[in-house]
């Protein structure tokens, strides 16, 4: 019997220990002989091609490595694509589901928890004008009314505090809601895909998108990138937001129409934005939104990067996915469960290791 084959399309395990453990189980692990894409060429989009006899693909969500329908069809026996990341938007999900190929991801707490903490910190930095105060003092200035921040929680004098609007109350959105609980602020959430009990558990009021946009002082997006969520926040949605509102996107760049966002900020129709992600990464230095000064607080798509975290925590997760899939078993964290009947018919109980 031919060896089972795992094709790594973007390496994560720098030491290669997990690959060696797989090889010890008789799996042929193919690792591309290429370094991580440099900042200069990350804008280039490469169509990944697995070997024709590949049984599973391993890698990360990366705009530079696209897994198209042609990618998936090139390997007739492909059972799954396993991601070390929470995101998986560089794979053609429609094609994978149609072809009966499982897609799994790795929602490790250091990853999603790090996003929530980072967003929390950046929101506070914007509301309290942390950058502006620091720069003002370093430039020889001192007290200035323009440096006045925003009080967050409600007060006894009748001030109601800010309203936080969360689009997507999954792991990240719900952790962010929990982080704001001590302030006793009003939290609105829009998520049609979760049980109502989760809103109650995280003290969030379920609302529709229009209400969230109109009533929130902070609007923060925490949803996956899909056809439905591409340009979820565009000109029409930005027009519904308060003039003093701040938009946060630490999910995926294409969720926000960045040109419409630039116009809204440039014309003072909203007050600010926090962006960990952009439609093109890294952005062209001439991208207009980079020139808006303190209206925009930027991060180089590493808001979740903290000491002791990173994708290393996902290595054992993906390794277990490989073993399960190659044994003909359904792994954990499958994101296209609707294709399970087709997958089980093709591969269920058919072990390659």
Please tell me whether residues 337 and 229 are part of one structural domain.
Answer: no
pLDDT in tens, 180-190: 999 999 999 99
Q: What is the pLDDT of residue 44?
A: 59
Residue 43 — pLDDT band, cuts 50, 70, 90? low
Please tell me whether residues 142 and 243 are part of one structural domain.
Answer: yes
Please tell me whether residues 197 and 70 are part of one structural domain.
Answer: no
CA dihedral of residues 208, 212, 213, 219 (deg, nearest 10):
-130
Question: What pTM did the predictor assign?
Answer: 0.90
Please tell me whether residues 137 and 285 are part of one structural domain.
Answer: yes
Selection from 88, 21, 30, 94 nearest residue 60 by Cα:
88
Q: Name the domain count of the chain.
A: 2
Average pLDDT over residues 32-49: 59
Please tell me whether residues 64 and 128 are part of one structural domain.
Answer: no
Give the active site residues: 252, 281, 301
Please tell me whether residues 68 and 157 are part of one structural domain.
Answer: no
pLDDT in tens, 103-134: 999 999 999 999 999 999 999 999 999 999 99
β strands within the chain, DSSP E: 4-8, 27-30, 46-47, 56-59, 65-66, 80-83, 102-104, 163-167, 186-190, 205-206, 218-221, 246-249, 272-275, 296-298
Please tell me whether residues 32 and 150 are part of one structural domain.
Answer: no
Please tell me whether residues 37 and 57 are part of one structural domain.
Answer: yes
Please tell me whether residues 14 and 127 are part of one structural domain.
Answer: no
**304 in any annotated domain:** no
By residue range, what is the domain housing residue 276? Answer: 112-298
């Amino acid at each position: 019997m031919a060896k089972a084959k795992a094709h790594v399309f973007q390496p994560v395990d720098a030491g290669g220990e997990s690959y060696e453990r797989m090889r010890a189980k008789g799996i042929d692990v193919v690792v591309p002989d290429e370094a991580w894409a440099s900042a200069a060429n990350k804008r280039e989009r490469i169509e990944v091609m697995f070997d024709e006899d590949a049984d599973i693909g391993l890698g990360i969500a990366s705009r530079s490595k696209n897994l198209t329908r042609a990618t998936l069809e090139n390997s007739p026996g492909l059972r799954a694509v396993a991601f070390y990341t929470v995101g998986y938007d560089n794979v053609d999900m429609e094609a994978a589901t149609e072809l009966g190929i499982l897609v799994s991801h790795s929602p490790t707490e250091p990853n999603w928890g790090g996003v929530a903490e980072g967003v929390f910190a950046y929101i506070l930095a914007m509301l309290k004008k942390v950058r502006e105060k620091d720069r003002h003092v370093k430039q020889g200035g001192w007290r200035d009314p323009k440096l006045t921040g925003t009080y967050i929680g409600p007060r006894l004098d009748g001030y109601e505090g800010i309203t936080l609007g969360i689009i997507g109350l999954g792991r990240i959105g719900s952790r962010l809601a929990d982080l704001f609980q001590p302030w006793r602020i009003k939290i609105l959430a829009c998520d049609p895909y979760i049980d109502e009990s989760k809103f109650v558990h995280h003290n969030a009021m379920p609302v529709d998108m229009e209400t969230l946009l109109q009533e929130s002082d902070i609007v923060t997006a925490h949803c996956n990138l899909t056809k439905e969520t591409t340009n979820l926040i565009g000109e029409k949605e930005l027009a519904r937001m308060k003039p003093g509102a701040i938009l946060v996107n630490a999910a995926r760049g294409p969720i926000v129409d960045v040109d419409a966002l630039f116009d809204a900020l440039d014309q003072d129709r909203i007050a600010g934005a926090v962006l960990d992600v952009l439609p093109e990464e890294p952005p062209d230095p001439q991208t207009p939104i980079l020139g808006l000064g303190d209206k925009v607080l930027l991060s180089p798509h590493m808001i979740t990067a903290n000491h002791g975290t990173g994708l290393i925590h996902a290595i054992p997760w993906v390794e277990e996915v490989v073993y399960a899939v190659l044994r003909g078993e359904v792994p954990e964290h499958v994101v296209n469960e609707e294709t399970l009947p087709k997958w089980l018919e093709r591969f269920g109980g058919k072990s390659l290791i």
